[in-house]
Chain A
Amino acid sequence: MTESLLELSGLTKYFPVMGGLVFKRQVGRVHAVDGVDLTVGAGEALGLVGESGCGKSTTGRLVARLLEPSGGTIRYNGQDISHASRRELKPIRSEIQMIFQDPYSSLNPRHTVGTIISGPMEVNGIQPPGGRQKRVRELLETVGLNPEHYNRFPHEFSGGQRQRIGVARALALEPKLIVADEPVSALDVSIQAQVVNLLQQLQRDLGIAFLFIAHDLAVVRHVSQRVAVMYLGKIVEVGDRQSIYERPRHPYTHALLSAVPEVELPEDGVGTERIRLAGDVPSPIDPPSGCRFRTRCWKAQDKCAAEEPPLIQITGNHEGHLTACHFPEEPTVHGDQEIVLDPALA
């Protein structure tokens, strides 16, 4: 693997839960991110998947240092930025950019596209050769928009086009890492594909590393070389794309993959595997002891409640494919297992 650009180790973020009628005091804490170890290599796209509330967006915000971690370290290019001050962060901020989910609220409606995209250059005092306006026009062309639209306002564009403006703004400072937080989930299918293709092409052509946060497993598979699966603040499995999608070892990864509704009709699918978990994700305020997935897992035993499984390479896995499970699955997704835990379906 290439030298790592971003290194997270033991990263935690707790949010206080306040209670009390008159005097507010802390009554608990949300374990949003709870000991995450991850690396992103230079020019590599790492997909981060998980269900809502698993802490994937918080992780993204910690990486961009929009939030300060409660514990653990974030190393960017070898430098520890976990508690860096604004001044220390300044040179790094231009190298880590973000793309947001909602293309409506992430663009200022009173600014023209030109102002929005040249904003980062202005803040950082960058004067590209040929002037900012020329650079903005180039960027608009890179993301597939008409450079003539320089003076238009965001409301004159459709959702997909706005997301392209967001991408152009992120590219303005030639970043080394882009944190993309659900960049396509607000878009319609036909438009989503346009933006997915654009991100994939940018990543290949410009060699930018991506932390691609999404809940859609098929989209993540398309844009990431490596994939990490998150559950209740922890990484439960990480590995290269092929290994995760074809040989998942963690029961949760397996259940996620089996729950994706595929266009293939039942008769022409390879296997008709059906894993239906019961219930929802438990609350991150009071997560289960040991393995956090044990309350929904069909393989859970006493050991799972007592001992937290470490994120390690299990025998039979590819290099770099780590799984946190005491009782890992057979490495396949093709089969006809029927595991239905939901009482209404039994």
Chain B
Amino acid sequence: MTTVTWDREPATPRGPGPFLSVRDLSVQFSTEDGIVHAVDRLSFDLEKGTTLGIVGESGSGKSVSNLSILGLHDKAHTKIGGEIWLEDQELVSASRSTLERLRGNRVAMIFQDPLTSLSPYHTVGRQISEVFRKHKGASKAESRARAIEMLDRVGIPQAKTRLEDYPHQFSGGMRQRVMIAMALVCDPDLLIADEPTTALDVTVQAQILDLLKDLQQDFGTSIILITHDLGVVAKTVHNVLVMYAGRAIEQGTVQQVLREPHHPYTWGLLASMPKLNSNVDLPLLPVRGTPPSLLNPPSGCPFHPRCDYRDLVGPDLCSTERPELSPADGHRDACYLTLAQKREIFNGKIKERL
């Protein structure tokens, strides 16, 4: 059990490192049924101006881990352990007022469903300029001008008049653009996009992903893109983190993870996605079984009950001892198979089915 971290000693400042560094983050929720181990010792870094894609299925902990960066969990029912460093600021132990100054200012978030995350009672202009006024101390006129500028930048036609419209007067894609404008109005250093295109149609999804890429080049924002779609990842991110049952199981650059994936779960994800040019006479290769319950996660490697290759490792290792991410740098994965075995299986069996 991890310690309850909001009443511990303030973390000591550290030397220069990556822009965002998450160290051994654990998040547990207490529910009526027991304790949900939503995130289990997760670590990752994010460099300035780059995009990290976090991939996983529902319940893999990808959203929960990022909500803790913003301190958005209900503290009465949540235990958070580990450290989150945003440059020289530790966030897990940070006070409420510190987090408030951060949210919407240096760190901003875009949610999956733009309709429920915008207030239906206020015009979009008011919602965008409010953020700017609160954090930058700007006047009404200044913040209004800034809101028009942002709406224009994200491609909303006639920004000046649309400012007075309410969220329901926008279509799904346009609402997501409003969300992006609101998130970027204070020029944040870090943008967390949680499934920003899942609710959108494919032609609109392509527009929004291109827009995020375009804005990143302009503003130099670091982005964490949370998604379940490996196709979205391939087009937009620099580095990938694959999560399963609250843990990181593979990490590397997008080329490494998509071209030469090492972990059997990543193989499963890739092989179960139908593609526009695959052979339709071959059935897809799904991962057998179902994702585990996080109330009672499997012992050892969380993927072992669904893994086809555990016999290659030896008798009980997979089910008793948790594999750690290795090597220390570069393309890392948490699996006991040797590198030679992984290469042999992937090149021999999996690659031809992709």
Contact = CB atoms under 8 A, between A and B. Distances in A.
B280 A189 contact: no
Interface in B271-289: 271-276, 278, 280, 283-288
Nearest to B229: A261
Interface string A153-171: 0000010110000000000
Interface in A106-132: none
Contacts, number: 144
A255 B203 contact: yes
B269 A342 contact: no
B231 A260 contact: yes
Contacts of B276: 217-218, 221, 245, 257, 260, 262
Contacts of B174: 279-280
Interface in B198-245: 201-207, 209-211, 214, 228-232, 234-235
B287 A190 contact: yes
A342 B58 contact: no
Contact of A259 (B172, B205, B211, B255): B205
Interface in A215-233: 215-219, 221-222
Contacts of B272: 189-190, 192-194
Nearest to A261: B231
Contacts of A218: 273-276
A259 B206 contact: yes
Given A188-B57, A189-B269, A259-B203, A222 B280 contact: yes
A257 B274 CA distance: 14
Given A189-B273, A260-B231, A281-B201, A345 B280 contact: no
Interface centre among A215, A280, A281 (most CB of B within 10 A): A280
A257 B277 CA distance: 11
B31 interface: no
A218 B205 CA distance: 15
Contacts of B154: 344
Nearest to B60: A188
A260 B254 CA distance: 18
Contacts of B232: 261
A276 B206 contact: yes
Task: Tell me whether chain B's interface is mostly helix, strand or loop, or mixed.
Answer: helix
A345 B210 contact: yes
B35 interface: no
B354 interface: yes
Nearest to A188: B57
Contacts of B229: 189, 261
Interface residues of B, number: 53
A343 interface: yes
Contacts of B211: 342, 344-345
Interface in A237-262: 241, 245, 255-262
Contacts of B205: 259, 261
Interface centre among A192, A193, A196 (most CB of B within 10 A): A193
Contacts of A27: none
A332 B254 CA distance: 28
Given A256-B203, A259-B202, A262-B234, A343 B155 contact: yes
Interface in A132-156: none
A265 B275 contact: no
B234 A265 contact: yes
B209 A261 contact: yes
A329 interface: no
A194 B211 CA distance: 34
A313 to B, nearest CB: 24
B175 to A, nearest CB: 10
Contacts of B58: 188
Interface centre among A216, A222, A263 (most CB of B within 10 A): A263
A143 B153 CA distance: 50
Contact of A190 (B255, B258, B269, B278): B269
Given A194-B288, A279-B173, A343-B155, 16 more contacts: A51-B201, A188-B228, A188-B291, A189-B230, A190-B57, A192-B286, A193-B284, A193-B285, A221-B276, A245-B276, A257-B276, A261-B206, A262-B231, A263-B270, A263-B275, A342-B207
Interface of A: 51-52, 158, 160-161, 188-194, 196-197, 200-201, 215-219, 221-222, 241, 245, 255-266, 276-281, 342-345
Interface of B: 57-58, 153-155, 157, 171-174, 177, 201-207, 209-211, 214, 228-232, 234-235, 254-255, 258-259, 268-276, 278, 280, 283-288, 290-291, 354
10 contacts: A188-B57, A188-B228, A191-B290, A218-B276, A241-B280, A256-B202, A259-B202, A262-B234, A263-B230, A277-B207
Identify the 6 closest CB pairs spanning chains A and B, nearest first.
A344-B155, A261-B231, A193-B272, A193-B286, A259-B206, A190-B287
